[in-house]
Every structure is written in C-alpha cells, then in structure tokens.
Amino acid sequence: MDKYLLIILMFMIAGMIIAITREPFIPGLFYAMLGGAIIIIIYGSMKNRREHNEKKRENRRSKK
C-alpha cells in the first residue's frame, strides 16, 4: 500500500475511535469512516494485484 493511502487510513481509524468514544455516539461519522477505510483497503489490494500481474507478464516476456 502506498504511503499516502496508509496515512489516510490511519486518520480514518483515529476518526472512528473518536466517533466511538464521544459521549453522544455519532453513527454517521463512524460508518462513513469505516466505509472509507474499507474502500482504501480494497483499492490498495487491487493496485498491488495489478502491479504483481504486470511484473509476471514482464518476466514471461523477458524469458522468451
């Protein structure tokens, strides 16, 4: 995962903790941050998979 995505993910997790620990629980803030964190994780894994497939293709071409 890229560094900037990791930093944004940390801020999302911190925001979720803040939303949970506030006296009046704010479900909208918590679930919005949870959704954002899930999207960042999915995007990072798709990007890594795409890069891995490109490397595999490149290695196959270089062997021929």
Residue ranges making up the domain that contains 28: 3-63
> What confidence score (pLDDT) does residue 14 get?
94
Which of 42, 37, 29, 31 lies closest to 12, judged by CA?
37
Q: State the Cα–Cα distance between residues 44 and 39, nearest whole angstrom.
A: 9
pLDDT at 8: 92
- Structure tokens given for 4: 């900037």
Angle between helices 3-21 and 27-63 (to 10 degrees): 160
pTM, two decimals, is 0.76
pLDDT along the chain (64 residues), means of 10: 88 93 90 94 92 87 72
Q: With contact defined as beta carbons under 8 Å apart, do 41 and 9 qualify?
A: yes
Q: What's the total number of domains in the chain?
A: 1
Which pLDDT does position 59 carry in this prediction? 84
Q: What is the pLDDT of residue 26?
A: 87
CA distance linking residue 43 with residue 31, whole number of Å:
18
The confidence score (pLDDT) of residue 64 equals 59
